[in-house]
């Protein structure tokens, strides 16, 4: 406990921790680690919780070979396949998310990148979001250029989301159709034009603890604003369909250590929460998270919105409602 408190106090004083200190945290008692991570969240972030909703705006037919993804055309899965939703359908999803209490809304599309016509439609939906709700607008549309990102920013986009999925040293074991550097360059493109950046990964892909830290320190070096943490929910038909699920406390330890590494940033728990954490879902906040995904995921169902909102209320946390403008 003494070592955890020393590292916690270092973080609270504004200092960055190093890999050796993270290795101490990995070996530490779970309860004491979560308590310290919760104190860091309370100190820097407070009790306000980000609720993010997404729409799977274009699904399947993806040429990429990400070994965890049911939308890849490399695999035969039951994941839905459809072209980009029309504006009416996008608007319906925006309105529903806003009614449910989401503070952020993200447009997510399958594939390496979207084309010009699709970009224009997403921009129209982003503009609608900003003009008709108080939600922050985000999108995850693949490997976009600065010019394309600027176009979306001009239409009101606050955030760009683009996960690198796993560490550089593990990346080629999971994806071969594009490179780690292409992922990183996309995030740098978003940062270069002043967008709030959202970048994290999926845990439970067979990576080691050392590789989890490798990813975290790469993201810290880039100065990511929001770190989404996903847990693998194996999809039948993909290469990783038989991958063993993370245990709940191992998953929560990932959240806690990321809070130590990113004390002032948003640490969000996203996909795989229900299946991996089971009865410990409310512990994500005790472990240091300050946000989660509300509603369904891309190709799998989420928990009831009412259940999640009740959980937040019971914990005495406050859903974020005020829209901040991250653009510069």
What are 241-281's pLDDT values in tens digits? 999 999 999 999 999 999 999 999 999 999 999 999 999 99
- Residue 1: the pLDDT is 67
SS3 135: coil
DSSP classification of residue 166: S
pLDDT tens figures, 275-292: 999 999 999 999 999 999
Fold assignment, 19-317: TIM Barrel (3.20.20)
Query: pTM for this structure?
Result: 0.94
Average pLDDT over residues 144-168: 97
- Phi and psi torsions of 196, nearest 5°: -70, 130
Q: Residue holding tokens 């948003």?
A: 266
| Cα–Cα distance measured from residue 154 to residue 140, given in angstroms and rounded to the nearest whole number | 16
**Domains of the chain by residue range:** 19-317
| Cα–Cα distance measured from residue 209 to residue 250, given in angstroms and rounded to the nearest whole number | 10
């Amino acid at each position: 406990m003494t070592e955890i408190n020393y590292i916690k106090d270092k973080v609270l004083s504004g200092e960055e921790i190093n890999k050796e200190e993270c290795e101490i945290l990995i070996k530490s008692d779970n309860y004491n680690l979560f308590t310290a991570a919760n104190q860091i969240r309370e100190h820097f972030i407070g009790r306000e919780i980000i609720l993010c909703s997404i729409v799977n705006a274009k699904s399947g037919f993806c040429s990429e070979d990400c070994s965890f993804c049911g939308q890849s055309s490399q695999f035969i899965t039951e994941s839905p396949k459809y072209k980009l939703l029309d504006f009416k359908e996008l608007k319906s999803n925006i309105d529903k998310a806003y009614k449910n209490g989401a503070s952020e809304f993200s447009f997510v599309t399958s594939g390496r990148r979207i084309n010009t016509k699709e970009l224009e439609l997403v921009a129209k939906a982003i503009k609608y979001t900003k003009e008709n709700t108080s939600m922050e607008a985000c999108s995850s549309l693949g490997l976009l250029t600065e010019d394309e990102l600027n176009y979306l920013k001009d239409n009101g986009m606050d955030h760009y989301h683009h996960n690198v999925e796993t560490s550089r040293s593990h990346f080629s074991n999971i994806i071969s159709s594009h490179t780690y550097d292409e992922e990183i360059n996309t995030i740098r493109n978003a940062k270069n034009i002043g967008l709030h950046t959202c970048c994290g990964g999926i845990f439970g892909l067979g990576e080691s603890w050392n590789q989890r830290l490798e990813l975290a320190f790469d993201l810290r070096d880039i100065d990511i604003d929001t770190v989404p943490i996903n847990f693998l929910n194996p999809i039948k038909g993909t290469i990783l369909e038989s991958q063993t699920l993370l245990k709940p406390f191992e998953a929560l330890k990932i959240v806690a250590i990321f809070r130590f590494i990113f004390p002032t940033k948003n640490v969000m728990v996203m996909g795989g929460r229900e299946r991996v954490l089971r009865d410990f879902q409310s512990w994500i906040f005790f472990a240091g998270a300050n946000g989660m995904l509300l509603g369904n995921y891309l190709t799998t169902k989420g928990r009831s919105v009412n259940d999640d909102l009740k959980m937040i209320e019971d914990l005495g946390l406050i859903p974020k409602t005020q829209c901040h403008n991250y653009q510069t």
